[in-house]
Every structure is written in structure tokens, then in C-alpha cells.
Structure 1
């Protein structure tokens, strides 16, 4: 990687111009004519560049925002300190998504607003100054106008061409740590099907490649990143992109896909509340396909966005321990298959004001996965019924190649044989320990234990005292029904909805288990469960709906809804 002890490429160009000189390709400066010429080092290969970018982070919902400026989607204006924080946390690259639509003029020039382009340059320079690789792209334009390529072919292609002409010229002398991505999550409306979609995406990627390579400077051998259709990882989509790589025959290309997990688990629908075998198989299958199609063929892969789709609602959509298991396994697969990963963060992970992680345990697990495996357990929760004599509680360990070295509470080790026993992968917390930990009988978390392993992140286990939750009668409208709830130390896992006369109620009626956060949303501090307008949009007028709320302790609560026009009433069954 080049030293950052130099002016930005934009500033360098201006300085040289003042002396009647020109910037050289790749941001180099003219050699002193009195010195002996030296041989320039060979540029790093695409595989080396992409490997050096691991791990990566996304500056989401900022320069890609479709409002007036980068703060319009709720994030603060980008400052140098943000990239310094990202680098200090161990990231080596940043993907800077950019939406250009609202900053472009009309045909035929489609000129990009100079102030906006200068701001993008400034943000890129900030990241480069922190020794970060940078990936920039055309982002939400994909669903604003690029998707019309089948029905407005010449107009869309002209605008796409004009956009990349301007970007290629602007960044021609950027250092080779700056990469270009042709288009984010491409798709097309009005096409005849998969075959035409493949042809159109090939046309876009080939056009992008031709523009950038023909623009000179550092763009001649800059690493360019090409997506699959939808940035999906299904084999037909990978094969389509592989055909484009074969035709372009350029060693400085990389492929990109996105991955947000096995969909039912990722959004918590259809009862997929656990990181189960099916969810794991989906994860492993994705990495195996991109490895066999690209990595093993010498084509590097950037997984440009990853996370869980439920994070778009809030990070509690998937239960904490199940979430951590997913990210631990994800990191292990990425390392095994040599794929560079870039965490999608639209502000829900790193607080961009305080510059700290909103879920430190999640980031701890992600960071640990960059270098090795971490031990986990079958759960991170032990529920003890209030007022009862606790029974021993057994957790199944998943050491992932590590060994359990200690069980601690507030840093103090517990005593094996007295507080817990370990038999193979079965860790049992004794009844006496649980009685001691829950002596206060307060609802909710009474204690947190930490399982420490020989490597990787520790595994936290919360010991909770609970009673069966209760719900109260409520009335409202189909815009929203807020049900008063006494959670009593328990936590909601999922909700079922069926009609009293039979059949599944609510949207996505192929399952009785509704989508967490989208159709129902618990608020533990307020003591409520909200049923959303999206839920009622899928409920028949005048129907009686039977709800079953499933809680992590194993408790269930039944509730009955009756609708009449826009009015809704509900009561415990």
C-alpha cells in the first residue's frame, strides 16, 4: 500500500498544474530530471488488492442518500474522525456508495453537480488519508433509472455512459487503492426474462469496463468490480457474470455479491427463530458457489454488503445469541474461501456521533471472526421461573475448535463441580448456582455469566427470572393496534396469526408465523406490542383472528382480534 504522507490526488494535480506539469498515471509525480530513473514497482494484482481490503465497512445511507444531501437519511456529515475510528477498529477498506441521480443535469450531458462531485472526492481523500482502500460506485440509481434499460435502452445507456465518463475522468489519477464498482444491485423492469437480463447486465458491465480502461491514467489497470444480477449468489447469476469475465479477459477485475442470510431467518419469519442447520447450509452453500465459480479460478470476490435483513427494522429482530452464531459462522466461511467482506452499516451499528458500537457484543464477534473461530453455545439465555426452586440448566457447547477455559461472573471464575459441571460438550449450571444468582427474584436479567474459550470471542449467558407474560385488552385502528403487555422478564420470539374459521391471517399467508418488526413489534421499555398497518393490510375485514405470542422462555399467550372496517379490538383469549 502506498504511503499516505503525500497530498491528496486532487491537490497534487492542482500543485503540478501551477508549475506547468501534469499528474502522472496513478497519482505519481514527475521525477526529478537530475536523478537516475528508477523502475516503478509492479502494480499489485487484483487478488492481492482485494485480499488487502479485508475486512471492509460500508458508509451506508450517506452519500447514497436520495435526499438533498448526505444527512438527509439521518446520518451526520462525514468527518475525518469517522474514518480514523474505522481504521482503529481494524477495518482496511471502506465502500462509499454514491447516488448520483439528484445531482445530475439533463440530457445529453447528464452533468454531475460540481459541488457534489467535489464532496465525493473530499470523502474519498479522507478515507485514503487513514490508509483505507476505497470502493465507489453508482448506487441507488439502479432503482431510480438504470432499471429502465429494457424499455428506455438508448436513454439509460447514454446516461450510464455519461456518468462513468465523468467519474473515470475525475478519479483517473487517484491511487490504485481506489476501486470502482459498476452498479449496485442491478435489476431490470420490463425485460423478457433471465436471458435478456443477463444480456443487459453484460452490456452495462462491458460499457463500464470500456469507459474506465479507455480513460487513461490509473484507470488503465485499476481494479474494477462487477456485480451479478441483483448481486445474488445463485448459480445461474454467478455463471452469467463468469461469462462476462471470460469475454473481457482482464486480470484486474473482481466479482461482487451481497449476502443477508437465509431469508426466513434473516427477517425472523415462518418460525425461523434459530440459527439452525437449514440456515447454516444456506450460508455455506453461498460461499462454496462463489469460491468454485470465481475464487478458485483466480477471480477475487468482494462480498460488498453483508448483515441480516431484519436490521432494517432494528437489530433485535433476530435474537442476540442466534445473531452472534450467524456472524461467527459467516466469518469462518469467508476466511476459508478467501472472500473479502464489507459490513453493511447504515448507522445502525457504529454510532457516527459518539463513534462507538451500538451492540458491542456483535462487533466483538465480527472482529474475532476476522482471524479465527469463537466458541458458542446452544443459547445465551437461561430462564428461571420466579418463585420456583431452579432445576439445573444444560447448555450444549459449540467450541468450533476451541476449548472452554473458564466460566466467570463479573470477572471472577466459578468453581467447576460446585457451580457447574462439564461433560463433553454439555455444560450444566447447578441448581444451587441458579438459586443464588436469582435470589433477588427481580424480573429480567439477574446475572450474566461469561464462557471463556481458548481463542476468539467469549460467550455471554444471561440468567433471567421470569413469569408468564400477560396481555391486556386494547382497541385501535388498522393503522396500528398497541397491546399493553407485561413481559415479566420474558422476551418475545415470534407471533402466529390464524383466522378463527381456519387459514393463516396477515401478509405472507403461506405461513402462520409473521415477520418480526414488520407486522408486530415489542417495546420492552414501554410495555407494549404493536400490530402494524402492514399486518392489518393482510387481514380480511370483519374477521376474527387468533394470535399466539411465543416467548423465549417457552411461554405462549393467546390473544383474539376482531376487525370491523378500520376499527380493531383485541382481548386475551
Structure 2
């Protein structure tokens, strides 16, 4: 008789009761067949996991417990809500280090192991596929393998002996992932890195397979070095998989986009052809190296790196285009994707999306292509008569069916003109929508299509931002800024006597959120201590603030020790 997901959870709870002395020995269980309870191939299992979601910054937190990084304690209701959002799998990152005893046994605290199996069991009971891993241990002790190879391998093996035993009879909808973003400190280079990672992955597969039960055929997930998608790293993992020679292996990489766009540095404020080609090339490499050769692939984390600071690091319309294209191309290349969510996307207490428009774009991309626009912002000057404004549409094979303003339908040929892929909002329409409105978003127009997600266009009434003089220190300097409806895109910094100033001195454009950050409510632009770490003492720096309307603002800084003086103007 095949064991179900719910019966496995019951068995786990009974085993824990035995461990804690609360029940008698569990009766011997009949091992499930080696073909796996569902009989699905590994490729079919991975395909069925699309789309996936990460329970990030929770059981992987390095503090005392799962709430240490600001997220609430996991409940079954949260996992049920995630399933209801359309997700079919959940990755459960786990950091084990703080919950392990000393060598040689490296015993995992029973309460921690019980908690991980409980959360995994809830997810399985909710009909989700599950992937459990060894997570931040990668930089807490696994990274030391070049200098302590035997000790690290011993601990890694002991860790997985316990994890494998806990999940021995879990249904095959649960996958185990060897290690998150592995790397090695102090190695001699690529060859040693590849050899060390192969030793870890081979030990992982051997330990899990030897534990028997469903583990004998359970899909096992192996990462490239750093979870990188560079061809050299892909080739290393492909060689390792060939050597291990196990039919139920899955490859995994992570993807956070073209780095300058992903963090908004070097003036890469848009999801342009360079950023698009980077994604295309990455997914092509992964597909050609693994998927096309019969090894399924899970993109175990995806998102934008700038989200680590704020989801506002990348402008809304540009991020929507990124996620739309990512979903589109992942479907083309048969890649299963798992959204990285450290609590900034799905509010696990309120059980709703913090940015519904973002999730609408992401979730639609799982099944169909959606049209997008060249921009989702139309700036209308607060003074003078507005001009017509055109948004170029990437129709993605569909067609416009209408344009709405709230419950009102705009009239084609009057309120707007559609010519091929060009949507032109007439001057009269823009004047009507912004008349008497304060600075900022005066209206949101929704462009609807025959297929896919709609595209929102924000009509923004603005005037050129005003910057003011200020004094402060290198511990943090605020530029007074009356934004007057405009939004900050990026900032340049150059020395008055020549050369790029500040961190990333290979470019004049600084990193959004790291070197500078706008506060629209507080009407200021903060220059961070990290920015001043890259500014020479006694120097004069000329800043240029670039706004999304196309306006610019010049500002001059003078640093003397820790004192900073700022003057509006060039």
C-alpha cells in the first residue's frame, strides 16, 4: 500500500512522540516501491512543481528561531494561502548550524528537526511539492572545506544522515537540495572548487540513497558553484552529474537578472535589450546544458537583487517587464521557477500581496504572454498646455480591447488614438485628467488586451524638482528635495577636477539605494555613509540627479573631514 502525504506526516509525528517518550514504538512500515509513490518521472515531477515559491528568511534565519529575521512563525494557513495563489511548490531553506551539537555526531536538535518536518508536512498536506535544503551553512562552515576537508565532509555527511532519516518515508513530492549557493574560501581556483563541490554532492546522493525507503528514488537537487549560470559552472555540474550517474538528479541555478539593471547602477534603469539578452542567454545555456539532455532544471531562486534593499530600487514598469519576460522565456525553455520571497512580497500575516500589480504580472506569466508598454508613466507639466503622449506597446501577439479610467471606458479616436503598437493619449485627455489635481499620480489608465495581464499607465502631474542647500556629515547627508510629483531614476557623481566619484568608480552613475535613496514623503535624498566612503577628503563633487520625467537637478558637495556642505546648482 502506497503511503500518502498525510499518512507520512502522521508517521513523523508518531516517531517524534516515541523520541520524546510520549508513545510506544511505531509499528514497522512497509517501504514504498522503488519506483516512487506516484510513478512520475523526475522530469514530470519538476514540471509539476511550476510555479514555485520560497519560504525565505524563516527557517534559514541564523538567529535563535524562525522569527529572528522579522517574519512570523510559519503556519499551515500561510502555506494554504500560498497554494491558493496558484503556487504548486514551496522551497523551504533551512540553516542547521545553530541547531547542531559538536563533532563527531553533529546532532541536530530534535525540536528543530521536528519543526522542519512539521512545516514540510503541512505543505505536502496542502498539495504542494516541497524542496528542503541545507542553506546558510554554506557560508557558516561548508565554505571552510579547502582548509578542513575531512571535518567539513564529516559534518555534512552527519547532517544529511539525520535529514535523510527524518524524510526517509516522506512522499516523493518532497525533494532534497544538497546545498544553497555553495562556494569555498581559500581554494586554489576553479579546479579545486569543482572537485570539492563534487565530493559534497556525491556524498549527499550516497547518504540519501543508502537511507532507503522513498529516499532510494527521491529526486535530488544539485547546485552549481554559487548557483551560477555561467557556462563553466554549468559544465562542472554536468560533469559531476554524469559521474554520479543517478537517474533522479535535478540541476539548480539562481537568477537575479543582469546585475547593473538588477541593482540599478551605472545608469541601467530600464529593462532594455541588454538586460533582455542577458536573460535569454542565461536560460539558453541552462536549457542546452541540462534540460535538452534529460536533466530537469529548477531555478531555485529568482527576483531582482535590488529588492534586498527596497522593491522601489527598480522602477515599477521596468520590473514588470522583467518578470513578464522571465516567465515567458522560462516556459519556452521548460524551466521550473521559484520566486524568492523573504517576506517583502507576500504578507504572511495579512495573507495578501504587498504589490498586487507585481504579482498579477508574475502569475499571468506562468501561463500566457502579456503585452507591456515602453513606460507606465506619463508626466504632464503642471503649467502650460500638455502635449499628446505616446506609449509604444509590445503587444506579444495580442491586441488592445480597450482603455479604462476606473469604471469609465475611454473613447478610441477621441480620448486616445491607437495606431499599430502606438497608443497616443490626446492632450485634451491629459488636461482633463490632471486639471486641479495635486502633484503626483492624478489618474491610472488601464490598457486591456485580448489576452494576458492589463498594463497600467500612471498619469503624473509634476513640476521640475527643487533642490536646496544643506550641511551635514559623512555619516549621512540629506539633500532637501521638493520632488513636486517627479520620481528619482538615478544619480551621477563626478569630481570637479575630473573623474568619477564615490563607490563603483568605474561609472559616474551610482547604485540606487546603496549610495543614495529618495524619501518622497520626507522630501529629501539621502547620501549614505557608503557613498562618502568613496569620496576623497577635501574634494568637491558635482552631482546630477536624473528624474523619470526627463528633468535633471545639479548639486555640489564639498567634503572637509567628516563635514559636508551641499549647494544647489552646478
**TM-score, structure 2 normalization:** 0.96
Is the 1:26–1:174 Cα contact (8 Å) retained in structure 2?
no
Inter-partner Cα distance in structure 1 for 2:250 and 2:152 = 24
**1:82 paired residue number:** 78
- Does structure 1 residue 502 correspond to structure 2 residue 498? yes
Is the 1:27–1:173 Cα contact (8 Å) retained in structure 2?
no
Inter-partner Cα distance in structure 2 for 1:428 and 1:59 = 43
Question: Structure 2 residue aligned with 1:187, among 183, 188, 191?
Answer: 183
Measure how far apart 1:21 and its partner are: 2.2
- Does structure 1 residue 21 correspond to structure 2 residue 23? no
SS at match of 1:25: coil
Inter-partner Cα distance in structure 1 for 2:253 and 2:495 = 40
Is the 1:471–1:485 Cα contact (8 Å) retained in structure 2?
yes
- Does structure 1 residue 475 correspond to structure 2 residue 471? yes
Is the 1:440–1:446 Cα contact (8 Å) retained in structure 2?
no
Post-superposition Cα deviations, 1:192-236, rounded to whole Å, max 9, x if no partner, equal 111111111111111111111111111100000000000000111
- Does structure 1 residue 159 correspond to structure 2 residue 191? no
**2:133 paired residue number:** 137
Q: Which moved more, 1:375-384 or 1:563-572?
A: 563-572
For the aligned residue pairs, the C-alpha RMSD in angstroms reads 1.7
**1:32 paired residue number:** none
Inter-partner Cα distance in structure 2 for 1:24 and 1:380 = 59
Q: How does 1:516-555 map to 2 (within 5 A)?
A: 516-555=512-551
Q: Which moved more, 1:558-567 or 1:273-282?
A: 558-567
Post-superposition Cα deviations, 1:426-467, rounded to whole Å, max 9, x if no partner, equal 111011111101111420001100000111110000000100
Question: Structure 2 residue aligned with 1:10, among 6, 9, 12?
Answer: 12
Measure how far apart 1:370 and its partner are: 0.5
Inter-partner Cα distance in structure 2 for 1:68 and 1:19 = 31
Q: How does 1:341-360 map to 2 (within 5 A)?
A: 341-360=337-356
**1:436 paired residue number:** 432
- Does structure 1 residue 58 correspond to structure 2 residue 64? no
Post-superposition Cα deviations, 1:157-202, rounded to whole Å, max 9, x if no partner, equal 1111111111111111111111100000001111111111111111
Is the 1:449–1:461 Cα contact (8 Å) retained in structure 2?
yes
Distance 1:412 1:153, change over 3 A: same
**2:275 paired residue number:** 279
- Which structure 2 residue ranges, 5 or more long, are not aligned? none
Question: Structure 2 residue aligned with 1:511, among 507, 522, 536?
Answer: 507
Inter-partner Cα distance in structure 2 for 1:68 and 1:20 = 31
Inter-partner Cα distance in structure 2 for 1:257 and 1:454 = 34
Measure how far apart 1:510 and its partner are: 0.2
**2:262 paired residue number:** 266
Which consecutive aligned stretches of 4+ in structure 1 deviate over 2 angstroms post-superposition?
Answer: 1-7, 11-21, 23-28, 39-43
Distance 1:569 1:125, change over 3 A: same
Inter-partner Cα distance in structure 1 for 2:428 and 2:26 = 82
Q: How does 1:171-320 map to 2 (within 5 A)?
A: 171-320=167-316
**TM-score, structure 1 normalization:** 0.96
Is the 1:55–1:340 Cα contact (8 Å) retained in structure 2?
yes
Is the 1:26–1:175 Cα contact (8 Å) retained in structure 2?
no
Measure how far apart 1:46 and its partner are: 0.7
Inter-partner Cα distance in structure 1 for 2:499 and 2:526 = 22
Inter-partner Cα distance in structure 2 for 1:508 and 1:124 = 42
- Which structure 1 residue ranges, 5 or more long, are not aligned? 29-38
Distance 1:358 1:211, change over 3 A: same
Is the 2:328–2:368 Cα contact (8 Å) retained in structure 1?
yes
- Does structure 1 residue 446 correspond to structure 2 residue 442? yes
Is the 2:251–2:296 Cα contact (8 Å) retained in structure 1?
yes
Inter-partner Cα distance in structure 2 for 1:222 and 1:313 = 37
Distance 1:541 1:243, change over 3 A: same
Q: How does 1:24-43 map to 2 (within 5 A)?
A: 24-26=30-32, 43=39
Inter-partner Cα distance in structure 2 for 1:193 and 1:11 = 45
Distance 1:435 1:27, change over 3 A: farther
- Name the count of aligned residue pairs: 563
**2:403 paired residue number:** 407
Inter-partner Cα distance in structure 1 for 2:279 and 2:209 = 35
SS at match of 1:241: helix
- Does structure 1 residue 101 correspond to structure 2 residue 97? yes
Inter-partner Cα distance in structure 1 for 2:4 and 2:38 = 16
Measure how far apart 1:41 and its partner are: 6.2
**2:387 paired residue number:** 391
**2:489 paired residue number:** 493
